[in-house]
């Protein structure tokens, strides 16, 4: 029922739109670090927040995709989409007008949590709970504000399976007001200063058609598990988290919250981008075009312009400083769609991701040896061993034409 090959990548805006939602690839390191950040703030209902963010994005998307489908076809589409995006496996055949009690043993977030953190004290498969709530509401034409959704059993806590119970009843997760349309900057994208950028971007244009869930519903690639997320899902978590910590701790909370979100983005950069440039696909298709260390960074930007992050270009690069710009940055696009313009910068994942590239390229011997201990290098960066600082100078939600970030000593 759902086939990624039916969707074409928007090369102008560097985005993949499915059912009215921009999609963005993230790795299991980013997703679990982001969720752990929210969970650790015990003064807020982190689980409810994540469930609500998942339900909101999924409800909007499935409402568009299932508009003319029967109940049974809608179930098939929803479970196929979940698998295709790399979340795992769900079976919606037992869902009816009264709801669903679903048991599953295939959950990417449980696998990721176990790899990074071990056992949990509470259920972690919040995305699936929100996804199921939205699927039930769409398929049986109910409002999200009237849905109760809970995970009662979790493999991350030692259970044999995850169990989610979805029903009509007292709502137990946040719901949000209707979103606007994406607001794109349609001025021409400036070309990269590196001659190989256009070639590499075009070579990987249809990568989303191959990066899909396997028979278990997972996308193991580049040494990580990838998930093709609704951009609004992960971004709303960030935005709502910042609002919550600011309401609790004022300006200090907002600053600290932003640093924590940047840390999740840095983890993504280390393990997704680091895995990308260490992959057999990179060695075969990209490495022959590279002569300098700067070429490696330009090439990583060119390839990831097919991952849903927006059109990115490096304007300055040396061992001491990198400046990158993003036209139609995925975080800014989501923020403006949900809340309008902002006085503060609203991008953390993108900034943290490219911050991670500098020590990988300039402070490891990976390019010479082909080997890299990502975990040890990541630990050194977290100790600020190399001295790089992130300075965000422009943001689209702040009224600028592009996002601009400096990573410099």
**Residues 252-275: pLDDT tens digits?**
999 999 999 999 998 888 888 888
**Residues 333-371: pLDDT tens digits?**
999 999 999 999 999 998 888 888 898 899 888 888 888
Q: Are 133 and 147 in contact (CB under 8 A)?
A: yes
CA distances for 186 relative to 193, 227, 346, 402, angstroms: 20, 28, 20, 11
Task: Enter the DSSP assignment of 316.
Answer: E
Confidence of residue 121 (pLDDT cuts 50, 70, 90): very high
Task: Enter the DSSP assignment of 292.
Answer: S
Q: Residues for the chain: how many in total?
A: 409
Residue 50: give its domain's CATH number: 3.30.1380.20
Q: Which domain holds residue 37?
A: 12-168
249: alpha, beta or left, given left = phi > 0 and alpha = psi -120 to 50? alpha
Residue 394: give its domain's CATH number: 3.30.1380
Write out the E strands in 83-234: 100-104, 147-153, 162-168, 219-221, 224-230
The total of other beta-carbon atoms located within 10 Å of residue 64's CB is 13
Domain membership of residue 192 (yes or no) is no
Q: Are residues 88 and 135 in the same domain?
A: yes
Q: Are residues 164 and 205 in the same domain?
A: no
Q: Are residues 99 and 204 in the same domain?
A: no
Q: Are residues 158 and 271 in the same domain?
A: no
Averaged pLDDT, 382-397:
87
Q: Are residues 210 and 316 in the same domain?
A: yes
Q: Are 32 and 109 in contact (CB under 8 A)?
A: yes
Q: Are residues 272 and 157 in the same domain?
A: no
Alpha carbon of residue 252 to chain centroid: 26
**Residues 270-311: pLDDT tens digits?**
888 888 898 888 999 999 999 999 999 999 999 999 999 999
Q: Are residues 296 and 341 in the same domain?
A: yes
**Residues 142-177: pLDDT tens digits?**
999 999 999 999 999 999 999 999 999 999 999 999
Question: What's the total number of domains in the chain?
Answer: 2
Alpha carbon of residue 255 to chain centroid: 21
Q: Are residues 206 and 304 in the same domain?
A: yes
Say if residue 381's pLDDT is above 80. no
Domain membership of residue 248 (yes or no) is no
**Residues 60-87: pLDDT tens digits?**
999 999 999 999 999 999 999 999 999 9
Averaged pLDDT, 97-109:
98
Reference 163, options 79, 233, 225, 91; nearest CA is 91
Averaged pLDDT, 235-244:
97
> How far apart (Å, rounded) are the C-alpha atoms in residues 178 and 277?
39
């Amino acid at each position: 029922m759902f086939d990624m090959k039916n969707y074409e990548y928007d090369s102008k805006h560097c985005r993949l739109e499915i059912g009215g939602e921009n999609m963005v690839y993230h790795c299991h390191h980013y997703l679990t670090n982001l969720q752990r950040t929210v969970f650790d703030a015990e003064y807020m209902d982190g689980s409810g927040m994540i469930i609500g963010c998942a339900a909101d994005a999924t409800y909007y998307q499935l409402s568009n995709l299932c508009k003319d489908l029967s109940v049974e076809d809608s179930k098939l589409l929803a479970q196929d989409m979940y698998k295709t995006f790399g979340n795992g496996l769900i079976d919606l055949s037992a869902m009816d007008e009264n709801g669903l009690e679903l048991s599953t043993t295939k959950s990417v977030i449980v696998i990721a949590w176990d790899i990074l953190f071990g056992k949990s004290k509470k259920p972690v498969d919040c995305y699936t709970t929100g996804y199921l709530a939205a699927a039930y509401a769409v398929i049986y034409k109910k409002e999200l504000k009237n849905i109760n959704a809970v995970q009662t059993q979790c493999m991350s806590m030692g259970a044999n399976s995850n169990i989610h119970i979805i029903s009509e009843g007292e709502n137990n997760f946040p719901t949000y007001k209707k979103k606007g349309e994406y607001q794109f900057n349609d001025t021409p994208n400036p070309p990269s200063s590196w001659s190989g950028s256009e070639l590499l971007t075009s070579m990987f244009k249809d990568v989303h058609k191959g990066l899909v869930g396997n028979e278990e519903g997972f996308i193991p690639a580049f040494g990580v598990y990838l998930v093709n997320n609704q951009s609004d899902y992960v971004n709303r978590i960030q935005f709502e988290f910042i609002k919550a910590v600011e309401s609790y701790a004022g300006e200090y909370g907002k600053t600290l919250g932003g640093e924590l979100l940047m840390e999740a983005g840095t983890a993504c950069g280390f393990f997704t981008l680091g895995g990308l440039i260490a992959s057999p696909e990179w060695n075969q298709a990209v490495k022959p075009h590279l002569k300098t260390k700067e070429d490696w960074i330009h090439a990583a930007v060119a390839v990831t312009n097919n991952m849903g992050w927006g059109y990115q270009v490096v304007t300055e690069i040396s061992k001491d400083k990198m400046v990158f710009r993003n036209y139609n940055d995925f975080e800014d696009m989501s923020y403006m769609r949900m809340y309008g313009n902002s006085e503060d910068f609203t991008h953390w994942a993108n900034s943290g991701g490219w911050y991670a590239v500098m020590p990988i390229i300039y402070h490891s011997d990976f390019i010479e040896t082909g080997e890299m201990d990502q975990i040890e290098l990541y630990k050194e960066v977290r100790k600020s061993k190399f001295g790089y600082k992130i300075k965000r100078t422009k943001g689209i939600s702040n009224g600028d034409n592009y996002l601009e970030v400096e990573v410099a000593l």
